[in-house]
Amino acid sequence: MFTTIAALLAASAASVSAVAVPRGNSGSASVTPHEQYSSSIGVLGCLINTNRVAYWPMGVDCNNICVKVTNGNRSLNLLKIDQSGGAYDISYDAWNYLGFGEGAEQDPHMGGGIPMTYEFVDASECADLMHGGKLPLSAANSMNYVASCMSEPNSWVNKNHQLINMADPLCHYGYNEVCTLDLSVSNQPSCPHTLGAQVKYTGPGVTNIAYGTGKAEAAA
């Protein structure tokens, strides 16, 4: 689990072509609802607005993590922090609002793809969806992504991420505490408690809005 940062940085240059970047800054797609929160790069769902997430086909890079999705006269900024298998998915609540004008808890709808347009905007425009304007990442399990962004020192994520001692994106295990990374001292983040500790987290967890019912449910 704790591959050294130095090794990851060395590998990132060779693997950069494997990280897909958005094809153009804008486009249109048939947008579908996504019920269960996830993040392929280890963004902690308990520290962001999980009702405002985009699950796009392209990989997650270190700059284009904020996408503005529009349907008619309604628009939302969404965090693009997970890669789908090919669908243009967004959080169920965001899909419900953009498609029908109300949140999923207030007036839940069901259905498939709705034609919408999207535009990648500066990541700072999604700052209110994050943890104090920073992208909160699992200190134990986001190191591949962190290393790739460290290899792009001017990237938004490199300058605006936070390492938190949580072991999983659903915040089931770990501590809500900030870790530091000083490569001159260690190749691993330093945390007040053991890095990646499998201790059950007792703080607020991740809540999903159930498709079709609009009921808030704890993420399994």
- List the domain range (segments joined by +) for residue 35: 19-128
Q: Is residue 123 part of a domain?
A: yes
150 neighbors 156 (Cβ within 8 angstroms): no
Q: Is residue 88 part of a domain?
A: yes
> Residue 84 maps to which CATH number?
2.40.40.10
90 neighbors 141 (Cβ within 8 angstroms): no
- Give 169-209 as a DSSP string: TT--BEEEEEEB--TTT-SS-B-SS-TT--PBP-S---EEE
Q: Is residue 169 part of a domain?
A: no
Q: Is residue 41 part of a domain?
A: yes
pLDDT digits (tens, 9 = 90+) for 102-152: 999 999 999 999 999 999 999 999 999 999 999 999 999 999 999 999 999
User: What's CA 121's distance to the chain center, in Å?
Assistant: 15
Flag whether the pTM goes above 0.85. yes
63 neighbors 80 (Cβ within 8 angstroms): no
Q: Is residue 151 part of a domain?
A: no
Domain total in the chain: 1
Tell me the three state secondary structure of residue 11. Answer: helix
pLDDT digits (tens, 9 = 90+) for 74-103: 999 999 999 999 999 999 999 999 999 999
Q: Is residue 35 part of a domain?
A: yes
